[in-house]
Amino acid sequence: MSISQKILAERWELSPGRISQLVSEGMPLDSIEEAEKWRAQRHLSTGIPPSDYKLDGSSQAEAPAESTEVPDDKGNGTVLETFDSIIERQRILVQISRNQYIKSVKSGSPQQSRLYASYDKTVNTLTKLKAEADRLALMNREYIRAADSADAMRKLAGDFVNRLDKLALDVAEACNPDNPAKAVKVLEAWALRVRADLSKDE
């Protein structure tokens, strides 16, 4: 049974666009386990995962041998990575560190303190990366100055009032072909009421 990209976006806290990009790169949608295994295999090559790293309680991911390097126009090996993919990889590293720490606690390993410190460090790094992503998203938003906004609204209101003033003469004949003058009076009265109502909201 296939899964939707929306489910993965919510589960991994990624944008729908990023999920679509992963699918175009070959991520399967057969199941959550298969998608997570593919994701881990893709990113673990940039980290140092334990041999028994598990995405969840049942699925196991093995580190791939493939490289993340992509040749540039000159044939040189370069790592192409977006900020979203860096955050995504850091989430994987957090999970790896957490699994290592939990395993050490269960086995009574003397490395517990060191592994917890490593896990804590990866969490702090992820927190900083997410904060930076939020800051960049805020910077990339388009804003309009209050003065420019007020000018645009005044211009729009002025255009509306001008059209309102011309309404009676423009449509009177079509409204009452036999007596356009009568239609003009009715339409002008209506336009005046509208202008009065609008002026109350200024």
Q: Tokens 């990575």 label which residue?
A: 81
- 100, pLDDT greater than 60: yes
Report helix, strand or coil for 54. Answer: strand
- 164, pLDDT greater than 70: yes
Given this model, what pLDDT does residue 143 score? 67
* Helical H segments across the chain, by residue range: 5-12, 16-24, 32-43, 83-107, 112-139, 146-175, 180-200
What's the predicted TM-score (pTM) here? 0.39
Average per-residue pLDDT for the chain? 76
pLDDT tens, residue by residue, 28-60 = 898 888 888 787 776 654 443 433 344 444 333
> What is the C-alpha to C-alpha distance for residues 52 and 65, in angstroms, rounded to an integer?
16
Structure tokens at 70: 């992509």
Mean pLDDT of 62-67: 36
CA Rg, the chain, in Å?
Answer: 31
- 115, pLDDT greater than 80: yes
pLDDT band, residue 86 (cuts 50/70/90): confident
> What is the C-alpha to C-alpha distance for residues 72 and 67, in angstroms, rounded to an integer?
14
